[in-house]
Amino acid sequence: MPMSVSITLHRVTKKFGAFVALDDVSLSIEPGELFFLLGPSGCGKTTLLRCIAGFHVPESGTLHIGDRDVTHLPPHVRDTGMVFQSYALWPHMTLAENVAFGLEMRKVAKSEIRRRVMDALDRVHLSARAKERPNQLSGGQQQRIALARALVIHPACLLLDEPLSNLDAQLRLEMRVEIRRICKQAGLTAIYVTHDQKEALAIADRMAVMREGAIEQVGTPESIYRCPANPAVAGLMGDANFFEGRVKSVDVRPIIETAFGCVTVHRLPEALSPGDPVLLCIRPEEIIVTPLKGKHEIH
């Protein structure tokens, strides 16, 4: 397998007619990261993935995979493996033939194809079913074959476009763990598009939250969940309660005054001073109510 590579986008803009799908997007993904693009439908995350794959060419900006400028290169020379939402398996081919297809198009020697196909099927735990056809598999198993087909070409990076959206809830739980295992075992840099924050929170190394063609925040799932950049990001990352308030104290345990009483918080941005208005975001699991001299205090 090739070495893990970085992926860098610098001021990428992509338009479809008058519609701006990506608006001056810059992003750096480290070698070996499982990196998520999270956001609602129409926010630009799939367009960004398809620009990296080479299916879309941006109007401006540059894309690098490793130290190569791939901005204007066609998809087949970018060393990327793509896993589509629909799996896109050939129903008339066996599993082994499906996985081998990309290698045959690259005119790899037959003996090398056999070796690499079995290695890829081993990685997804389906080598024993190599001679079966896709319609004999469950949805989760078909997704594994789609992964094997992407892995067999030894891509520099793996691109996954909402790969679990067609699976039921239990299979999604199982497959997201499998996808992380496979990516880490193969040492791949992987970019994963989803609108499901639970998937991102469960397996991402880092993530970018997107809205209206722009990146709102980049960080680890925990840092974005606990310190969202704005209300839109907070809402995308799970349940949140929003309250208007005013800074009362900026001491060791800062205090915010609200319509329902005072709230003690762990920290405040350094720029805030007593009297400043704020919007308070409280996650449901963070609320603790305790009795205090006949009243109640919320922490």
Residue-level pLDDT at 1: 53
Residue-level pLDDT at 295: 55
Tell me, yes or no, whether 156 and 284 share the same domain.
no
Strand-by-strand arrangement of the 289-292 sheet = 277-282, 241-249, 255-258, 261-264, 295-298, 289-292
Tell me the residue range of the domain where 72 lies.
7-232
pLDDT, mean of each 10-residue run, the chain (299 residues): 84 96 97 95 95 96 96 91 84 93 89 92 90 90 88 90 84 86 89 93 96 96 91 90 91 87 82 89 80 59
Residue-level pLDDT at 109: 92
Total domains in the chain come to 2
Residue-level pLDDT at 2: 59
Tell me, yes or no, whether 129 and 254 share the same domain.
no
Residue-level pLDDT at 293: 63
- How many of the other CB atoms lie within 10 Å of CB of 180? 17
Tell me, yes or no, whether 51 and 95 share the same domain.
yes
* Model confidence, pTM: 0.85
Write the CB contacts of 169 (distance below 8 Å, at least 6 apart in sequence): none
Query: Which CATH number goes with the domain that contains 64?
Result: 3.40.50.300
